[in-house]
Chain A
Amino acid sequence: MRVYRMAERNIGIEALHERVHARCAEYRVEAAPDFVVRTAPADIDRERENSAREDRLEGRPVVPWHDEYLEELAVYRQIAEKMPAYDTFLFHGSAVAVDGWGYLFAAKSGTGKSTHARLWQQLLGDRFTYVNDDKPLVRITDQAAVVYGTPYDGKHHLSSNIAVPLRALCLLQRGAENSIRPISAREAFPRLMQQVYCPEDREAFARTMGLLQELTRQVRFYELSCNMDIEAARVAFQAMAPSGS
């Protein structure tokens, strides 16, 4: 077993293949685990079925993934099932940091959240850091929601092993012009639910709902209509960053 630290937890991983360890290498620690995840061939088969089901739903050809890759997914799923017990949930979105503040972009797949994050990088240069471009963890504390880099960072592997307080969560949609408006938690909630990991375990699911309630008290929500011009990043950043940024 090797132990990795993500979102303030030491996670023991016992895997069948080496690849998941390679993915997580940067997060390795020598410590006793808070919990352990183990994969069995059945977990890999289940990921294969899930992936095929999603492909069919989206009308794509079914991709024959290798076991190594499917095991990586199985491991993160098990981590996501455990994390609500530690006030943490997995969120599908692109998380970035600027001047020490976290911003999380969420949208349906294919809308362009990663493209938008890249525009922020172009606009802000050295002030910008990727936290996790695909599946960050978010931990709720008494003071703030904190977004964490993890090794599960999308196809371009854009992430850093850092934690930043989450300032805003921005729901993206494509538009001809660039415009942004603050929205209420009530308005944001149905779309948040589409991007948050919903555990299969009832207890973990109920905890996740409680964490989302907390999130709505700690974070500002925005809806951004944007195109792919750098102006989109300017409009979004100016609206969400502390004044004077």
Chain B
Amino acid sequence: MNTLKDMILTEIEGEWYAVPVGEAAKRFSGMIRMNKTGKRIFELLMEGKDQDGVVKELMEEYEVDEATARSNVGDFIGKLKGAGVL
């Protein structure tokens, strides 16, 4: 189940949070805290990009190699799945 579209991103003193709204708030209570890179991955997933698409985008935006990007994105998606958001 993908609830990303039912979440709102907000920033407090340089730290980013994804907060569930409406129906998503009934399925998932709490928030996901993330750094700037996590927030960018989250946005790309919200736009509907798949894992490969996000990796490609990160490689371009942050000038990192594929292994690094893939590992970051994999870890982050694991975190979202663990939280029940993906």
In chain B, what residue has the closest Cβ to A188?
B12
Chain A residues 146-187 with CB under 8 Å of chain B are 184-186
B15 within 8 A of A: yes
Nearest-neighbor residue (CB-CB) of B12 within chain A: A189
Given contacts A198-B25, A202-B8, A206-B8, contact A193 B13 (CB under 8 A): no
Closest to A199 in B: B21
Could you tell me the distance between the alpha carbons of A186 and B17 in the complex, rounded to whole angstroms? 11
B19 at the interface (CB under 8 A from A): yes
CB within 8 Å of A: which B4-26 residues:
8, 10-15, 17, 19, 21-22, 25
B46: Cβ under 8 A from any A Cβ: no
Q: Given known contacts A198-B25, A202-B21, is B13 in contact with A209 (CB within 8 Å)?
A: no
Q: Which residue of B lies closest to A201 (CB)?
A: B22
What separation, in Å, do the CA atoms of A242 and B31 have in the docked complex?
Answer: 34
Are the C-beta atoms of B31 and A209 separated by less than 8 Å?
no
* B10 and A209 contact, CB distance less than 8 A: yes
Which residues of A, 193-224, contact B by the 8 Å Cβ criterion? 193, 198-202, 205-206, 209-210, 212-213, 216
Whether B25 pairs with A184 at a CB distance below 8 angstroms is: no
Chain A residues positioned under 8 Å from B25 (CB to CB): 198, 200
Taking chain A's interface residues, is the majority helix, strand, or loop, or is none over half, making it mixed?
A: helix
- B14, closest chain A residue (CB): A186
The number of residues on chain A lying at the interface, defined by a beta carbon within 8 Å of a beta carbon of chain B, is: 18
On whether the beta carbons of A205 and B11 are closer than 8 Å, the reply is no
In Å, the complex CA distance between A205 and B13 comes to 19
Complex partner residue of B12 from A186, A201, A205, A206, CB under 8 angstroms:
A186
Across the interface, B13 reaches (CB within 8 A) one of A198, A201, A206, A216, namely A216
Q: Does A61 contact B (CB under 8 A)?
A: no
The distance from the CB of B13 to the nearest CB of chain A, in whole angstroms, is 4
Q: How far is the CB of B46 from chain A (nearest CB, A)?
A: 13
Contact A202 B22 (CB under 8 A): yes
Closest Cβ–Cβ distance, residue A228 to chain B (whole Å): 30
Q: Are B13 and A184 in contact (CB under 8 A)?
A: yes
Residues of A within 8 A of B22 (CB): 200-202, 205
- Report B-chain residues with C-beta under 8 Å of the C-beta of A64: none
Task: Give Cα distance in the complex from A217 to B40, angstroms.
Answer: 24
- Give 9 A-B contacts (CB < 8 Å), ordered by A residue: A185-B12, A185-B13, A186-B12, A186-B13, A198-B25, A200-B25, A201-B22, A202-B21, A205-B19
A residues with CB within 8 A of B: 184-186, 189-190, 193, 198-202, 205-206, 209-210, 212-213, 216
Task: Point out residues on B near A: beta carbons under 8 Å.
Answer: 8, 10-15, 17, 19, 21-22, 25, 31, 33
Other 7 A-B pairs with CB < 8 A, given A186-B12, A205-B22, A209-B8: A185-B13, A189-B15, A193-B19, A200-B21, A200-B25, A206-B8, A210-B10
Which 7 A-B pairs give the minimum distances between C-beta atoms? Answer: A209-B10, A205-B21, A186-B13, A189-B12, A200-B22, A206-B8, A185-B13
